Amino acid sequence: MTVSHETVVVTGASTGIGAASARELARRGFHVLAGVRREQDADALRGPGIEPVILDITQPEHIAELAGRVSSLRALVNNAAVQTNAPVEALPLSEWRRQFEVNLFGHIAVTQALLPALLRRSGRVVNISSVGGRVAMATYGPYASTKFALEAVSDSLRRELAPLGVRVVVVEPGAVRTEMPDRVIAATKQQAATMSPEHRERYGKLIQAANAHAAAHIPGGRSAADAAKVIAKAVTAGKPRTRYTVGRDAALGTRLARVVPDRLLDWALAASLRPHYPKVSPVPR
């Protein structure tokens, strides 16, 4: 079947922000092709206005199959992402490449394949970045670098497509209460366990502090449904902004990155981590 009327594609829709966005857009009357990687995720998501499709954005055949059945498209929401945090020195290049394959190259591949359908509808590309696409905390280098790159690609794409009637919008969430933070912390711990003794000596406490910092901030984050409303606004606004933030932390972080000198920002980020370092027990005398 060819889908052509008011269709939106959402990648990474199995859980969290992607699933919430699929539901919010369907509630607003769109036919949502929701990209998931497993049949069990498809069964959980399927509902009125939501048609799950098996889509691994690193697999060209999945992308080609999707492009082959979409003749015109109102919006593409590039949401799929993976994340493992680690110091730059300690993360194997294979893991760097994996994060770039999903968080950047996969989105470029999907966008290239679906642009003809977006051009027919004067549609919209909505790229889900992060506050980490503007501010890179210690141990967040791998993930943040993919998001910095996605921000740059979005800027170029916006300027290329504006004369052709396709708008490009970036959404930058901060802390959001989804399953992803727990997965990231678990993946980070697993990666840390494989580090060399020298790397553990240099970075072990930093990684513990960064994980504790993330865990402490998630409960105060916005809900996935709140994020989905911002994404739906990016899809539907008549004159969308080039960027939207989700949450006070994202709004503050992106502003600070623009106006605060690097050294002062370094100090502020280090200070925010300091309370989360593991406590050292005093040596008995």
What was the pLDDT predicted at 284? 53
In this model, does residue 178 exceed pLDDT 70?
Answer: yes
pLDDT of residue 2: 42
Q: Give the mean pLDDT of 64-82.
A: 96
- Please state, for a pLDDT cut of 90, what percent of the chain lies above it: 94
When the pLDDT of each residue in the chain is averaged and rounded to a whole number, the result is: 94
The tens digit of pLDDT for each residue in 195-212 reads 999 999 999 999 999 999
pLDDT of amino acid 157: 98
Residue 110 CB burial class (10 angstroms; 0-12, 13-18, ≥19): buried
pLDDT band at 279 (very low <50, low <70, confident <90, very high): confident
Q: Does the annotation count 277 as an active-site position?
A: no
Which pLDDT value is given to residue 223?
96
CA–CA dist 182, 270 (Å, integer) = 22
Asked if residues 117 and 166 have their Cβ atoms less than 8 Å apart, the reply is: no
For residue 69, give the 3-state DSSP assignment: coil
pLDDT of residue 4: 40
Instruction: Indicate the pLDDT class of residue 3, thresholds 50, 70 and 90.
Output: very low
Active-site annotation holder among 140, 143, 203, 244: 143
176-177/222-223 β-pairing: parallel
Check pLDDT > 70 for residue 49. Answer: yes
Cite the beta strand spans of 81-150 per DSSP E. 124-128
Joined tokens for residue 172? 């930058």
pLDDT band at 146 (very low <50, low <70, confident <90, very high): very high
Mean pLDDT, range 21-40, rounded to an integer: 96
In this prediction the pTM is 0.93
Helix axes 197-217 and 262-273, enclosed angle (nearest 10): 80
Q: What is the mean pLDDT of residues 145-169?
A: 98
All domains of the chain in start order, with CATH: 7-276 (3.40.50.720)
In this predicted structure, the answer to whether residue 229 has a pLDDT above a threshold of 70 is yes
Burial 48-61 (b: 16+ CB within 10 A, else e): ebbbbbebbbeeee
| Four-point Cα dihedral 77, 80, 85, 91, nearest 10 | -120
Backbone angles phi, psi at 8, to 5 degrees: -125, 135
Please name the residue ranges forming H helices in 48-179. Answer: 60-68, 93-100, 106-121, 141-161
| pLDDT at residue 285, rounded to an integer | 56
Q: Is the pLDDT of residue 281 over 80?
A: no
Q: In the predicted model, what is the mean pLDDT of residues 77-101?
A: 97
- State the burial class of residue 223 (Cβ atoms within 10 Å of its Cβ: 0-12, 13-18, 19+): middle
